[in-house]
Structure 1
Amino acid sequence: MRPPRTLRLRLLPAVATVLLLATACGGEHAGGDLGGDGVGAASPASRTPVTAPPVDGVRITAVTLPATTPTPRPGASDWTVHADRPADDSGVSAAYEVTNDGKEALTYTVLFDFTTSAGEVMGNQWVTVRDVRAGRTVRGTVELGVLAPGASPVTTVKVAEVLKVPAAEAPARAGVCPASGIRVTADDGDAAMSLRVVGLRLENCGEKDYPLDGYPLLTLLDEDRAPVEGVRILHGGDSIATGTGYDDPPRAFTLKPGQSAVSGLVWRNTADAGTDPVNVPYVRIRARSGAAPVMIAPRLDLGTTGRLGVGAWKPAGR
Structure 2
Amino acid sequence: MRRPHPRLLAPAVVLLLATACGTERADPSGGVGAAGPAPRAAVTDPPVDGVRITSVTIPTASPTPSASPGLVHADPLPGDSGVFAAYQVTNDGDEAMTYTVHFDFTTDTGAVMADKKVTVAAVQPGRSTSGTVRLGVLAPGASPVTRVKVAEVTKVPADEAPAETGACPSSGVRLWADDGDAAMGLRVVGLHLQNCGKRDYALDGYPELSLLDDDREPVEGVRILRGGAAVASGTGFDDPPGPLVLKPGESALSGLVWRNTTQAGTAVNVPYVRVLAKPGAAPVTVTPGLDLGTTGKLGVGAWKRADR
Same fold (TM over 0.5): yes
Cross-structure match for 1:127: 118
* Contact 1:14 1:125 survives alignment (8 Å): no
Q: Does 1:13 align with 2:10?
A: yes
Cross-structure match for 1:298: 288
Which letter does structure 1 place at the counterpart of 2:292? L
SS of residue paired to 1:19: strand
Q: How does 1:258-269 map to 2 (within 5 A)?
A: 258-269=249-260
Q: Distance in 1 between matches of 2:191 and 2:11?
A: 21
SS of residue paired to 1:285: strand
Q: Does 1:22 align with 2:19?
A: yes
Q: CA shift at 1:246, angstroms? A: 0.4
Task: Rate the CA distance shift 1:121–1:245 in 2: closer, same or farther, 3 A.
Answer: same
Q: Distance in 1 between matches of 2:40 and 2:58?
A: 7
Cross-structure match for 2:219: 228
Task: Rate the CA distance shift 1:92–1:5 in 2: closer, same or farther, 3 A.
Answer: closer
Q: Does 1:99 align with 2:90?
A: yes
Q: Distance in 2 between matches of 1:67 and 1:47?
A: 16
Q: Displaced runs of 4+ in structure 1, greater than 2 A?
A: 4-9, 40-49, 67-70, 85-90, 148-151
Q: Distance in 1 between matches of 2:114 and 2:12?
A: 5
Aligned length: 290
Cross-structure match for 2:53: 60
* Contact 1:14 1:124 survives alignment (8 Å): no
Q: Say which of 154, 165, 174 aligns to 1:163.
A: 154
Q: CA shift at 1:210, angstroms? A: 1.1
Q: Does 1:115 align with 2:106?
A: yes
- TM-score, normalised via structure 1 length: 0.85
Q: Distance in 1 between matches of 2:140 and 2:254?
A: 40
Cross-structure match for 1:69: 62
SS of residue paired to 2:9: coil
Q: CA shift at 1:9, angstroms? A: 3.7
Q: Say which of 180, 183, 186 aligns to 1:192.
A: 183
Q: Say which of 187, 191, 194 aligns to 1:203.
A: 194
* Contact 1:46 1:65 survives alignment (8 Å): no
Which letter does structure 1 place at the counterpart of 2:240? P
Q: How does 1:284-295 map to 2 (within 5 A)?
A: 284-295=274-285
Q: CA shift at 1:88, angstroms? A: 4.0
Q: CA shift at 1:282, angstroms? A: 0.4
Which letter does structure 2 place at the counterpart of 1:235? R
Task: Choose between structure 1 and 2 for higher RCO, CA contacts under 8 A separated by at least 6 residues.
Answer: 1
Cross-structure match for 1:247: 238
Q: CA shift at 1:291, angstroms? A: 0.2
Q: Distance in 2 between matches of 1:179 and 1:246?
A: 28
SS of residue paired to 2:159: helix
SS of residue paired to 2:229: helix
Write the deviation string for residues 224-261 of structure 1: whole angstroms up to 9, x where unpaired: 01111110000000000000000000011211111111
Q: How does 1:176-191 map to 2 (within 5 A)?
A: 176-191=167-182
* Contact 1:49 1:63 survives alignment (8 Å): no
SS of residue paired to 2:15: coil
- TM-score, normalised via structure 2 length: 0.88
Q: Distance in 2 between matches of 1:66 and 1:35?
A: 15
Q: CA shift at 1:35, angstroms? A: 3.5
Write the deviation string for residues 110-165 of structure 1: whole angstroms up to 9, x where unpaired: 00011111111111210000000110010111111111233221111000000111
Q: Distance in 2 between matches of 1:201 and 1:157?
A: 32
Q: CA shift at 1:175, angstroms? A: 3.7
Q: Distance in 1 between matches of 2:98 and 2:82?
A: 27
RMSD, matched Cα = 2.2
SS of residue paired to 2:197: coil
Task: Rate the CA distance shift 1:111–1:6 in 2: closer, same or farther, 3 A.
Answer: closer
Q: Distance in 1 between matches of 2:4 and 2:216?
A: 15
Q: CA shift at 1:7, angstroms? A: 4.0
Q: Distance in 1 between matches of 2:11 and 2:289?
A: 16
Q: CA shift at 1:91, angstroms? A: 1.2
Cross-structure match for 1:75: none
Cross-structure match for 1:81: none
Cross-structure match for 2:268: 278
* Contact 1:184 1:201 survives alignment (8 Å): yes
Which letter does structure 2 place at the counterpart of 1:29? G
* Contact 2:32 2:82 survives alignment (8 Å): no
